[in-house]
Amino acid sequence: MKKEYGLLGRNISYSFSEKYFNERFQNEGVSAQYYTFDLQEISELKDLLKEKTLSGLNVTIPYKQDVFPFLDNLSAEVEEIGAVNVIKFEENGTLSGHNSDYYGFKNSLLESIKELPKKALVLGTGGASKAVVKALKDLGIEWKYVSRSPKSGQFTYEDLNDTIIKEYHLIVNCSPVGTFPNTEQCPNLPYEHITNQHIMFDLIYNPEVTTFMQKGLDKGAKAINGYRMLILQAEKAWEIWNS
């Protein structure tokens, strides 16, 4: 019997995961099928779990924290990060939550740049940003959140000025702003202050070059999209499901 896996999210028809995993299954002779489960509300997961005999799920926007009530166990990394993007269906019938975004971001950053910056701005405070922040901490990079609804110690987008941009050389977009089909959009930054000392890392992978990245490239900055991170986190997810 074929094993079944899938991606859980909302408005995710653009996702590469279904194509990536099904091609991998075919190429490696794995008896499995991967689906996209586009749910408008997390409550729909209850029925999905009844209908399908699943072996694993990936979780994306906006459910990386909303899935917690459905899980029986959390990995140590999830306890620290506070977000889940991999669910493993254990042999005893329980569901365990894991995070491979941390692995994907950390290793794609290390692959892409030779010298780590001292400080980073993290745009957005959702599930993906929590994995990014743990990676930055572990790499010894100081960081600050930028949010439209900031908490104490966070910047608003309106706070960002020449002085702040000059101080923070890594800018990581963890928000969905600029994702296909709204590719003309970008986070509200003072891009005129970006220089060739900056690194613009966008977790978005579709389009390949986002407006956020292009505005950085126009100023001589290095730009990295989320594709390599996506591949690495997918490989880690497969490892988790089969461990």
Give residues with Cβ within 8 angstroms of 231, minimum separation 6: 20, 104
Nearest Cα neighbor of 222 from 102, 101, 103, 111 is 111
Strand-strand pairing, 170-173 and 199-202:
parallel
65 phi/psi in degrees, rounded to 5: -110, -30
Catalytic hit among 50, 64, 215, 222: 64
Kindly list the distances between the CA atom of residue 208 and the CA atoms of 179, 225, 226, in Å, as whole numbers in the listed order: 10, 7, 8
- Which tokens is 79 given? 């306890």
CA 97 to chain centre: 15
Whether residue 219 lies in the annotated active site: no
Q: What is the DSSP letter of 155?
A: B
Residue in this structure with the two tokens 């209850």, named with its chain if needed: 46
CA angle 61, 198, 81 (to 5 degrees): 35
User: Which of the residues are catalytic?
Assistant: 64
